[in-house]
Structure 1
Amino acid sequence: MKIVGVGCGEGMLTKEAETALREAKSVYGSKRAIELVRASIPKDADVVEITDYKALRTLPDDAVVLSTGDPLMAGLGYLPGEVIPGISSMQTAFARLHVPWTNVAVVNAHGKDHQDAVSRTVQDIAAGHTVFLIADPDFSVEELARSLSPSVRIAVCEDLGYPNERIAQGTAGNPPKVLSRLFCIICGY
């Protein structure tokens, strides 16, 4: 099995991933992942939208499983098989902001305990790290901001890699607003 990262948005597929897709006989992925790479999937390949993530471990050895972003950044990289990375929201966000990511702490709040993510972010910033936080639509930037010193910089990066990409910057004292359901946050940069 190959677990292929499709990137965080349009045009974020690597050449290695394109090659794996061109050779694929069966492709599994979420609706969004399939749409991101539809042009790279062979016309004769079986394309199956994933409805049961637990069944992914039972796929045949020649299956290609699509994971949005990078498979090991809150994706499907836990599955057995070869992992082919995609261009993640983290790579894209830091590049767009021209912020180095050599001292980054990653916090995953996507489908996780949001209060724990806020606590970890506060601790990581206090330890001198820039924090990259993977959010879900229910994550509150305002709640995060209330837990930080008012001068801490915050960037909300929305729909990265899509035509409507948006990056809003502010501080914990004046946090940027979230306008999309698909976003990540960088704090303390």
Structure 2
Amino acid sequence: MKIVGVGCGPGMLTAEAASTIAGASLVYGSARAIALARDAIPAGSEVHEIEDYRGLRSLPAHAVVLSTGDPMLAGLGYLPGDVVPGISSLQVAFARLKVPLARAAVVSAHGKDHDRAIAEAREEVVRGKVVFLIADPAFDVGALAAALPPRIRLAVCEDLGYPAERIAAGTAGEPPAPRGELYVVVAGAF
């Protein structure tokens, strides 16, 4: 099986990913991942929207599984098989904000304990890292801001790579608020 990163937005499919997808006869992915890779999927391929993520481990060896962004950043890279990297929201957010990737500390709050993620993010910021926090729609940016020193910079990065991309910047003392559901938060001295 191959797990292929399709990028975090339109036009971010790498040449290697496109080539791998172009050779696929059996493709699985979320609706969003399939939409991002649609132009690379060959006519006649069997395409399935993922309904049961637990069942992915039992797919045949020739299956190609699409993962939004990069499979190794809170994606499907845990599956058995070869991983083809993709352009992640981390790469895009840090590029837009001009923050070196070497300063990054990744914290996932997506579908996880938000209080624990906030504590982890605070610890990393105090250590001098710039936190890339993967949020979910229920994540409270205000609670993160309240846990940080007031002068720490915060950026809410929404719909990265899409035409409606939005980056709202502020500080922990005056935090930006997300408008939608597809966003990440960058926090630190940047």
TM-score for the superposition, normalised by structure 2: 0.98
What residue in structure 2 maps to residue 25 of structure 1? 25
Deviation at 1:139, TM superposition (A): 0.5
Aligned residues: 189
Regions of 4+ moved over 6 Å: none
1:137 aligns with 2:137: yes
Supply the AA of the counterpart residue of 2:51: T
What residue in structure 1 maps to residue 9 of structure 2? 9
1: CA distance between counterparts of 2:116 and 2:133? 12
What residue in structure 2 maps to residue 178 of structure 1? 178
2: CA distance between counterparts of 1:38 and 1:180? 24
Supply the AA of the counterpart residue of 2:101: W
1:87 aligns with 2:84: no
Deviation at 1:140, TM superposition (A): 0.6
2: CA distance between counterparts of 1:133 and 1:11? 23
Deviation at 1:49, TM superposition (A): 0.4
Q: 1:69-80 alignment to 2 at 5 Å?
A: 69-80=69-80
2: CA distance between counterparts of 1:108 and 1:176? 19
Deviation at 1:175, TM superposition (A): 0.3
Deviation at 1:46, TM superposition (A): 0.2
What residue in structure 2 maps to residue 101 of structure 1? 101
**Matched residue of 1:87: which SS?**
coil
Deviation at 1:152, TM superposition (A): 0.4
2: CA distance between counterparts of 1:55 and 1:91? 30
TM-score for the superposition, normalised by structure 1: 0.99
Supply the AA of the counterpart residue of 1:75: G
1: CA distance between counterparts of 2:5 and 2:180? 22
**Structure 2 stretches of 5 or more lacking a match?**
none
Deviation at 1:36, TM superposition (A): 0.9
Q: Report Cα offsets for 1:21-47 as digits up to 9, x if no partner.
A: 100000000011101111110011000
Supply the AA of the counterpart residue of 1:23: G
Deviation at 1:98, TM superposition (A): 1.0
Supply the AA of the counterpart residue of 2:34: I
Deviation at 1:104, TM superposition (A): 1.3
**Matched residue of 1:102: which SS?**
helix
Supply the AA of the counterpart residue of 2:109: A
What residue in structure 2 maps to residue 164 of structure 1? 164
**Structure 1 stretches of 5 or more lacking a match?**
none
1:149 aligns with 2:149: yes
